[in-house]
Structure 1
Amino acid sequence: MSDTETGRNALVTGASRGIGRAIALRLADDGHDVAVNDVAANAAGLEEVVGLIREKGRRSAALLGDVSAEADVEAIVQDAAGTLGRLDIMVANAGIAQVLPLLEVSVEDWDRMMAINLRGVFLCYKAAAKRMIEQGGGGKIIGAASIVAHRPFAMLGHYSASKWGVRGLTQAAAMEWARHGITVNAYCPGIVGTAMWDLIDEKLSESEGLQRGGAIRKYSDLIHLGRVSVPEDVAKFVSYLASPDSDYMTGQSVMIDGGIQFA
């Protein structure tokens, strides 16, 4: 597709690996130009994603910055819109996980989790909405929630709290920005084959007296479709949220979990 056929430009945070990488590449496949963001420590992976997007014939740029810092987020959004010409799609994907019993979560642990997973999404939503309104309105804002925004897991208390926050923020933002033609939705992955879930499995398995891999196998047995998801499963749904097909959908936080049935 040519630029005139799509006219859609996207920004994806936390895009150097995992779900963010898959989302960025899928949006490029859909015909969007895609700016990608991550922290400086992940610069090499981010540049690789930029190269892959350009190989697909789409424009891209690597934008380094910390989503928990307001000045960084404002610069990232400004640079993305400046490089691509405008901003039509914001995917606030960046996030972290930590597995600890609540009695061992320090104030510093709590604050870091909220800074990246919740404040980071808030700052991305806010900066993107301002830009979209300045452009005349319209746009897609999409955030990373989680299965734990619907059903918390033990040992993931502060992570769960941050993702419940994203779910509430998404609903409120959708209500406020609908009059500007902006939709706001979130995706809620279940168990995904990523480095984040490797960490979660390691800690949960240890706490439950299982060998490494045991926790993922335990929860995978509850998935109706019989397998752990891959980042591309999530990217397919984000592709829908970024497309005109979802124009009448807003304020939703949708599970992409293969149908997990908890007892």
Structure 2
Amino acid sequence: MSTAIVTGGGRGIGRGIALRLAKDGHAVAVVDVNKAGAEAVAAEIAEAGGTSTALACDVTDRAAVFTMVDEVAGELGSVDVMVNNAGIAQVKTLLEVTPEDLEAIFAVNVYGVLYGLQAAAERMIEQGTGGKIINASSIAGHSGFDFLGHYSATKFAVRALTQAAAKELAKHRITVNAYCPGIVGTDMWDLIDERMSAYNGKAKGETLEQYSQLIALGRVQTPEDVAGFVSYLAGRDADYMTGQAVMIDGGIVMV
């Protein structure tokens, strides 16, 4: 049985990915800074007959990430799929962004992805059986969004890391790809919707409704929509795919 790690797995998109990978037959390590959230998702997997474990980890702490990967390998036998999903958002104009804002968002969205990539790749190389590293980017990693400029910068950075890692790790039979969601009905988008009101004067829910009109398929995305694509990236059908950051957004950004 292959083992998958999902960071930020305690809620939202991460929860959807963890549940789907377990359904696909992977043993899943649900990792979150909030241990209770990780345990709740791991319990859902166990109740459905899957194999799971829950770990608390702050992805901004490099040593903690490496320790977490070692613990997963020790408990579940290997690390075959690494989903660097943990991320945060901030809503501000670029003129308002502070050094503290940059440090916080880059620490999670960029450093956290790189640390997870490093730890997983090291383990996969040692195992000698290849692997899949899957990173969370965004449509904001293809097109910069106003009021989300520094968030967009982190997601552009994830695309660069994904491409470079794909080239460096190919000789080890490790593929590296990214998924780029759009407007997903999660706590993160609730936060964006709420914070946007300070800039556009719209009532709660109106910003989400406005942005949702950009979706060609006509509905807000669900975590399960994202999880279905991550399932593909984690599976054998994606063995010849690497270095890609693919939009799964219902048709907002098209290239």
Give the TM-score taking structure 2 as reference length: 0.97
Tell me the percent identity: 61
Q: What is the CA-CA distance between 1:210 and the residue it aligns to? A: 1.4
Kept after mapping to 1: 8 A contact 2:81/2:133: yes
Structure 1's consecutive aligned runs of 4 or more residues displaced over 4 angstroms after TM superposition are: none
Which of the residues 245, 250, 254 maps onto 2:237? 245
Counterpart check, 1:37 vs 2:31 = yes
Alignment of 1:1-263 (within 5 A): 7-39=1-33, 42-260=34-252
Question: Counterparts of 1:196 and 1:221 in 2: how far apart (Å)?
Answer: 18
Question: Counterparts of 2:129 and 2:94 in 1: how far apart (Å)?
Answer: 42
Does the C-alpha gap of structure 1 residues 219 and 79 become closer, same or farther in structure 2, counting only changes over 3 Å?
A: same
Query: In the TM superposition, what whole-angstrom CA distance separates every residue of 1:185-233 from its partner, at most 9, and x where no partner exists?
Result: 0000000000000111112233112111111111111111000101000
Does the C-alpha gap of structure 1 residues 159 and 261 become closer, same or farther in structure 2, counting only changes over 3 Å?
A: closer
Q: What is the CA-CA distance between 1:160 and the residue it aligns to? A: 0.5
Query: Match of 2:110, as an amino acid?
Result: L
Question: Counterparts of 1:202 and 1:104 in 2: how far apart (Å)?
Answer: 17
Q: What is the CA-CA distance between 1:56 and the residue it aligns to? A: 2.3
Question: Counterparts of 1:25 and 1:63 in 2: how far apart (Å)?
Answer: 16
RMSD: 1.0
Question: Counterparts of 2:222 and 2:8 in 1: how far apart (Å)?
Answer: 16
Unaligned runs of 5+ in 1: 1-6
Query: In the TM superposition, what whole-angstrom CA distance separates every residue of 1:148-206 from its partner, at most 9, and x where no partner exists?
Result: 00011111111111110000000000000001000000000000000000111112233
Q: What is the CA-CA distance between 1:261 and the residue it aligns to? A: 5.5
Kept after mapping to 2: 8 A contact 1:206/1:212: no
Question: Counterparts of 1:58 and 1:75 in 2: how far apart (Å)?
Answer: 24
Kept after mapping to 2: 8 A contact 1:19/1:234: yes
Length, aligned pairs only: 254
Give the TM-score taking structure 1 as reference length: 0.94
Kept after mapping to 2: 8 A contact 1:224/1:261: no
Query: Match of 2:235, as an amino acid?
Result: S
Q: Secondary structure in 1 aligned to 2:128?
A: coil
Question: Counterparts of 1:125 and 1:261 in 2: how far apart (Å)?
Answer: 27
Q: What is the CA-CA distance between 1:57 and the residue it aligns to? A: 2.0
Kept after mapping to 2: 8 A contact 1:143/1:187: yes
Q: Secondary structure in 2 aligned to 1:124?
A: helix
Kept after mapping to 1: 8 A contact 2:139/2:253: no
Question: Counterparts of 1:105 and 1:137 in 2: how far apart (Å)?
Answer: 43
Kept after mapping to 1: 8 A contact 2:93/2:148: yes
Q: What is the CA-CA distance between 1:58 and the residue it aligns to? A: 2.1
Question: Counterparts of 2:136 and 2:202 in 1: how far apart (Å)?
Answer: 29
